Amino acid sequence: MELQKVLSERRSIRRYKNSSIPQNDIETIIQAAQEAPSWKNSQTARYHVVQTEKMVKKIKKEALPEFNAKNVADAPVLIVMSFVGSRSGFDKDKNPVNEVGEGWGFYDCGLATENLLLKATELGYGTLVMGIRDEVKLRELLNIPQDEIIVAVIGLGIQDIAPSKPERKPLLDVLKWY
């Protein structure tokens, strides 16, 4: 699929077909995420893929608020996005190199997430990025190390809805020329 088509067709999907996803497709999606740039090529993004039916149900029930669990009720895969803290934007002694500090880790994780979303779209899958989640419960259930900062949970599956494209702000409202 052409990049512009992927960019214009990607949507946040809140209804999925109850259908599994081949592991090689999931790996292809994660590999695309790994292609994202990162601070000094630090590659701190981490991908915790939840695909067993038992664990997917447990995460939905115990680590997502009811409205998010409903939005991904039939999604067969959840990907917990995190990054290793105090690396992106920090020197070797773990001192921030500018005022952004951990912001660089979030930025790098966002770049990886966007690649993940676009590759999923290209392969015909829908996604939903959820920032409201129980970080403590996710860490406990998936044994995520304390040095990783959990950013989001992404629902992944075959979409069972075709939402219209949300309106975007006019270019001149967001673009400044100097």
Find all residues with CB under 8 Å of 178, minimum gap 6, and list them.
none
> What are the pLDDT digits (tens) for 55-76?
999 999 999 999 999 999 999 9
What phi and psi, each to the nearest 5 degrees, are found at residue 134?
-95, 100
pLDDT of residue 1: 75
pLDDT classification of 40: cutoffs 50, 70, 90: very high
Q: Is the pLDDT of residue 49 over 90?
A: yes
- What pLDDT does residue 46 have? 98
CA-wise closest residue to 144 among 76, 54, 84, 94: 84
What are the residue ranges of helices labelled H in the chain? 3-9, 23-34, 53-62, 66-71, 103-122, 135-142, 171-174
Report field, pTM of the whole predicted structure over 0.85? yes
Backbone torsions φ then ψ of 87, nearest 5 degrees: -120, -60
Are 90 and 96 within 8 A, CB to CB?
yes
Fill in the amino acid letter for 39: W
Q: Per residue in 3-18, pLDDT tens? A: 999 999 999 999 999 8
The pLDDT tens digits of the residues spanning 108-149 come to: 999 999 999 999 999 999 999 999 999 999 999 999 999 999
Q: Distance of CA 82 to CAs 26, 56, 97, 150, 154, Å?
A: 17, 17, 21, 4, 11
- The percent of residues in the chain predicted with pLDDT above 90, rounded, is 98
